[in-house]
Each structure stands twice: as structure tokens, then as C-alpha cells.
Amino acid sequence: MQINDLGGYLKKQFGCKVYKLSLVGCTSCPNRDGTVGVGGCIFCSENGSGEFAEKTKSSVADQIEAAKTQVAKKIKEGEKVKYIAYFQSFTNTYAPIEKLRKMFFAAIRHPDIAVLSIATRPDCLSGEVIALLNELNAIKPVWVELGLQTIHKKSAEYIRRGYELAVYDEAVKSLHQIGVSAIAHMIIGLPGESEQMIYETAEYIGKTADGIKMHMLYVQKGTDLYTEYQKGQVPLLDMDEYIGILIGCIERLPESVVIHRMTGDGDKKTLVAPMWTANKRHVLNSISVRFRAVEIKQGRLFQKY
């Protein structure tokens, strides 16, 4: 088995390095404004409204240029690169369709953009949004990221996700019908979930989605999870435990599923715990070392993430 990591996948698809440009599209969420819920998911912070408000004043084209400047130092002189226009924060299909059309077309028509990636909720993919994604996908590849986090009902209620698993299933089906890739997010280490439960979520994603993003549950100031954490109600995994479970998840995924993320780091200004997640490079190196040990044991190959 070979790990189908995002870097390798993009290199195969585009023949060059592909950088993500984080753009701000929609700044609302039905799980915050009362449509589905108030207060949002238990781990979700309001995400620096000042910074986001500033960014949304810029056009998509200006945001792309500013984001390209930020990654420019990583690019060698003369190196050919492409970019992913990534609408990441909040729920990026939760706005009037004309706004979405303008925003996504501005991104996908930009000559440097190779992929349009949109993070959203599965309950925010109406028929007209799916029709728009279909139009966009005819121009360049479109990815849709869905914040599933867990397949377990009790955990979904605990994190106040605000939709049933069947809604995710339906969303993935609709995306696949128009040839759009579905990438599911999953959180490892939710309170009350056993190792087996975590593996069940990974297996489910492996059977339904085209890609997966995994990260450790982390606590940020200003969230309701932080309040629970202060009361001692949120046990957290240490890095070794996390990596062991992560590898167990990867082993359960089909090779066709692209691994977009193996660790996540919250906003360092508000991160409370676990602090080991803040050192992403160290976590990735440790994952690589652990995986190498497993591959040596099992005679498999691990491509560096």
C-alpha cells in the first residue's frame, strides 16, 4: 500500500507543485445564525471577524494576488507552479446564488488557478448550488469539503454538528452525480469516542468520499469546547496516541482516497490544548518516522507527506 497524499496526487495531476491560496468567501454559517443552530459547532471559534471582514472587502482577484505574494517565498526562481483557490472558513455555499456565482467564477477563471476548492456543510448544497458547481466543474476541477467529523450520532450531537449522517450521504451522492470530488473532514479524539469508533468513521469516509482531512481535536479560546475543557471534561490524546490512531485510520482507507491532511494546527493565538499540535512540522516528521517503522515491519512504502 502506498499513501495517496495530496502533494503526490497534485504532482501527478498537474506535473508541478500546487499551492493553496486561502480566500474568504462567505462569512456566515447556518449553525451560527439560528437557521440550524446558534453558537456553532462546539469547537468552532468566531474566527477573527476583524481579519475576515478586512479580507472580504477585497475582490477575489485581489485576494488571489495577495495570497500568491504570501506563498511566493516558497517558490524557486523559474519554478512552474499552479494554485488552488480555497474558500476555507465558514460555510462557503451559504449565500445568495448570484453572490456565489460571481465569487466562484472569479476564482475559477483566474489563469493561475488549477482547482477550485470549497469548504461547506452538506446541508448547504441546494439544487441551484449543485447546478452552479456543475457549471464550474466543466471549466476546472472542483472539490467540495464537507465537515463530517464523525459518523456517530452521539458525538455529532455533542459537537452540535446540526445535521444527520444521511444528509452527508445525500450531499456526496449529489456531488458525485456531477463529477465533483467530495473531501470529508474528520476529527480524531472526540470525547466519548473509542479507538474503534474513530476507525469506523475513517472506514465510512473511505467508502464514500474521494479525499479525507484528519486532525486531532484541539481546544481554542472563545469556544464552548474551551468551557468544557476548563471543567476537565475534555480528555485529549498525546501525540503518540494520536499518531497510532491516525495510522490505524490510514490503513483502513482505500488507496484511491487522497489524504489531504494528517494533522491540523489551530490559530496559535487562541490555541489552548494540546500544544503539541502547534508544531505541525514536528508532528508530520513524527508521523513519517512512525509510518516508516510500520512499513518496514509490513514491507510497504511510505511517501514523505
Q: Which residues form the interface with ligand SF4 (CB under 6 A)?
A: 29, 31-32, 40-41, 44, 90-91, 121, 147
Query: Among residues 93, 184, 202, 108, which one has the least CA distance to residue 146?
Result: 184
| Distance (Å, whole) CA 257 – CA 208 | 9
Nearer to ligand SF4, 83 or 163 (CB): 163
Query: Among residues 81, 132, 128, which one has the least CA distance to residue 104?
Result: 132
CB of 87 to ligand SF4, least distance (A): 12
- Residue 219 C-alpha cell reads as 481546544
Nearer to ligand SF4, 162 or 206 (CB): 162
| Distance (Å, whole) CA 198 – CA 155 | 11
Nearer to ligand SF4, 261 or 290 (CB): 261
CB of 30 to ligand SF4, least distance (A): 7
Would the CA dihedral through 51, 54, 57, 61 be positive or negative? negative
CB of 147 to ligand SF4, least distance (A): 5
CB of 295 to ligand SF4, least distance (A): 34
Nearer to ligand SF4, 4 or 47 (CB): 47
Q: Which residues contact 98 (CB under 8 A, 6 or more apart)?
A: none
Residue number of the CB closest to ligand SF4 reads: 40
Nearer to ligand SF4, 62 or 169 (CB): 169
CB of 121 to ligand SF4, least distance (A): 5
- Residue 257 C-alpha cell reads as 482516497
CB of 45 to ligand SF4, least distance (A): 8
| Distance (Å, whole) CA 103 – CA 112 | 16
Nearer to ligand SF4, 45 or 286 (CB): 45
The CA-atom distances, in angstroms, between 47 and each of 187, 221, 238, 290 are 18, 11, 25, 33
